[in-house]
Amino acid sequence: MAFDVLQRVWRDAGHAVRYVQNVTDVDDPLLERASAAGEDWRELAEREINLFREDMIALRVLPPDHYVGAVEAMPDVVALIERLRGRGAAYEVDGDLYFPASADPGFGSIGHFTGDEMIALSRERGGDPDRPGKKDPVDCLLWQSPRPGDPVWQSPFGPGRPGWHVECTAIALRYLGMGFDIQGGGTDLIFPHHEFGASEGQVATGNAPYAKAYVHTGMVGFGGEKMSKSKGNLVLVSALRNDGVDPMALRLALLAHHYRSDWEWTDGALAASVERLARWRAAVSRPDGHDAVPVLAALRDRLSDDLDCPGALAAVDEWANAQLADGSRGADAGAPGVVSRAVDALLGVAL
């Protein structure tokens, strides 16, 4: 949602935007779930991708220019690993290929974590810092040799499948090139994912920076814990939609928190957004209204300040409350339409 708002703000400012989004359509959790369910992993991936797309359409998220899966990008991934090998930035451990963090002099400059912190985060987030034979505990997997039951792709360095980070790096280099403006994701991607992705790109091309800036969103909690697949404590957009919740109320509930902040999902937050949506819709349904110029200016001002969505919502609240005040009647017949279109264009909320 944060990056959808960013795209809207940039487009409103007249910028051309090329937005690339990736999907990890083959990884250990997917394979484990497919195996447990006795299902083909490709069918499971396709079903979940389609569900995600349906949710994004319902939430009126602008589609990316390129939505690329790891499987689709496999030729680019293999080519990137070959480039890294050619630069001496790959070594073997029991048939698996690793990328050495030491290959990039700038490694660590994104998260600024200490060595001990990197090891702990690597252990927590899918790495294998305790594996014997690695040059550095945090070095990341580039290519994994075949495991029983796993899908396999052919490559110049043997059959297998890629590690997580190199997939995303290959996709970014293919569709954006080095030095693109922003890489985004949750704060849990700072290390190791974004750190290694940048280093792999910089070492492979000999150029820097990989991305000019990073935008990281806070974590969403539920019941006192971070929402995560591993914990199974997810509140799904699709489930809420099936329960009859208006997707625009869901969108407002998400926009009510600054993207950098950690926050907790509650039924009360959703109820407040349902009420806010009804109030806004009632306000723009009036035949005339208060001047729309100040609210449009306030929307742009707040969103230009590090995507201050809560401030933007407050600006619309102020206008809507004035619209609905007893005895209040504006003189501008076009104001409700202008506000409705501005909220649609900048916040993605259809009134």
**The domain spanning residue 324 has which CATH number?**
1.20.120.640
Whether 253 and 204 share a structural domain: no
Read off the tokens for 301: 């001002």
Residues 172 and 241 both lie in one domain: no
Residues of the domain holding 94: 2-217
Residues 209 and 243 in one domain: no
Tens-digit pLDDT profile for the chain (351 aa)? 999 999 999 999 999 999 999 999 999 889 999 999 999 999 999 999 999 999 999 999 999 999 999 999 999 999 999 999 999 999 999 999 999 999 999 999 999 999 999 999 999 999 999 999 999 999 999 999 999 989 999 999 999 999 989 999 999 999 999 999 999 999 999 999 999 999 999 999 999 999 999 999 999 999 888 887 777 788 999 999 999 999 999 999 999 999 999 999 999 999 999 999 999 999 999 988 889 999 999 999 999 999 999 999 999 999 999 999 865 566 788 999 999 999 999 999 999
- Return the structure tokens found at 307: 């995507």
Residue 225 in tokens: 């814990």
pLDDT at 328: 57
Which pair of structure tokens corresponds to residue 2?
A: 């944060």
Full-model pTM: 0.93
> Residue 133 to residues 78, 97, 99: CA-CA distances in angstroms?
23, 11, 13
Claim to verify: residue 256 and residue 303 sit in the same structural domain: yes
Asked if residue 227 belongs to a domain, the reply is no
Q: What pLDDT was estimated at residue 177?
A: 98
Q: What confidence score (pLDDT) does residue 152 get? A: 97
Got the DSSP string for 148-192? TT---B--TT-SBEE-HHHHHHHHHHHHT-TTEEEEEEEGGGIII
Residue showing tokens 């290390």: 191
Q: Quick one: 67 and 213 in the same domain?
A: yes
Count of all residues that appear for the chain in the document: 351
Question: Considering its fold, how many domains does the chain have in total?
Answer: 2
